[in-house]
Amino acid sequence: MTLAPETTDLKVQLRLADDEWFTVCDLNRLLPGRGVAALLPDGRQVALFRDRRGQVYAVDNRDPFTGAAVLSRGLTGTHGDRPFVASPLLKQRFDLLSGQCLDDETVRVTAYEVRAA
């Protein structure tokens, strides 16, 4: 029997409360540069991303400009040295670490702490 390489066991986890980590999926389900949506126990939706270095990010999935839950389907990129996702609907960009909208300083989405463990 061959053992699967260790990394395939890594899980993506979100911090929901101080010491509550919510397991979403296997890390290898995340394609670098692309997002997926996940459902939280309380009905909220989260957009998860992985960049080419393997870093994972999580922000609220709801696009505040349109109300649709689609941020997970946007294109990602780097602005300066900060990672961002551009909404697929009207293209506003959001910083993946802070959730801050880069095109409208009055808008921000929730950013979650996330880890691969």
Partner 1 sequence: MSDTPTIVLVGHGMVGQRFLEALAERGLTATHRVVVLCEEPRPAYDRVHLTSYFSGTSADELSMTDMEFIEKHGIELYVGDPAETVDRDARKVTARSGLVVDYDVLVLATGSFPFVPPVPGKDAEGCFVYRTIEDLLAIEEYAKTAKTGAVVGGGLLGLEAAGALKGLGVEAHIVEFAPRLMPVQVDDGGGAALLRTIEDMGLSVHTGVGTQEIVTDAAGAVTGMKLSDGSELATDMVIFSAGVRPRDQLARDCGLQVGERGGISVDEQCRTVTDPHVFAIGECALAADGRVYGLVAPGYEQAETAAATIAADEASFTGADLSTKLKLLGVDVASFGDAHGTAEDCLDVVYSDSRAGLYKKLVIARDGTLLGGILVGDAEAYGTLRAFTGSVPPVSPEQLVLPAGAGAPTQLGPSALPDEAIICSCHNVSKGTIRGAVTDHQCTTVPEVKKCTKAGTGCGSCIKVLGQLVTAELEAGGVEVDKGLCGCFSQTREELYEIVLALRITSYQDLLDRHGRENARGGDGCEVCKPAVASIIASLAPTIGAEGYVLDGEQAALQDTNDHFLANLQKNGSYSVVPRIPGGEIAPEKLIVIGEIARDFGLYTKITGGQRIDMFGARVEQLPVIWARLVDAGFESGHAYGKSLRTVKSCVGSTWCRYGVQDSVRMAIDLELRYRGLRSPHKLKSAVSGCARECAEAQSKDFGVIATSNGWNLYVGGNGGATPRHADLLAQDLSDAELIRLIDRFLMFYIRTADRLERTSTWLDRIPGGLDHVRDVVVHDSLGICDELEGLMAAHVSHYRDEWAETINDPEKLARFVSFINAPDTPDPVVGFVPERDQMKPDLPLLSIGLRPTGEDVLEGSAQR
Whether 31 contacts 39, CB under 8 Å: no
For residue 9, the SS3 value is helix
Q: Which of 8, 9, 25, 117 binds partner 1 (CB under 8 A)?
A: 25
Alpha-helical runs (H) found in 33-95: none
Beta bridge partners of 47: 37, 59
Q: How far apart are CA 113 and CA 13, in angstroms?
A: 8
Q: How far apart are CA 11 and CA 28, in angstroms?
A: 8
Residues contacting partner 1: total by CB under 8 A: 47
According to the binding rule CB under 8 A, does residue 88 interact with partner 1? yes
According to the binding rule CB under 8 A, does residue 5 interact with partner 1? no
Smallest distance, partner 1 to C-beta of residue 61, A? 9
Smallest distance, partner 1 to C-beta of residue 86, A? 4
x/- mask, partner 1, residues 30-69, rule CB under 8 A, reads -xxxx-xxxx---x-x--x--xx---------x-xxxxxx
According to the binding rule CB under 8 A, does residue 27 interact with partner 1? no
According to the binding rule CB under 8 A, does residue 111 interact with partner 1? no
Q: How far apart are CA 10 and CA 55, in angstroms?
A: 13
Q: How far apart are CA 87 and CA 115, in angstroms?
A: 23
Instruction: Give the interface with partner 1 as residue ranges (CB under 8 A).
Output: 24-25, 29, 31-34, 36-39, 43, 45, 48, 51-52, 62, 64-70, 73-81, 83, 86, 88-93, 102-104, 106-108
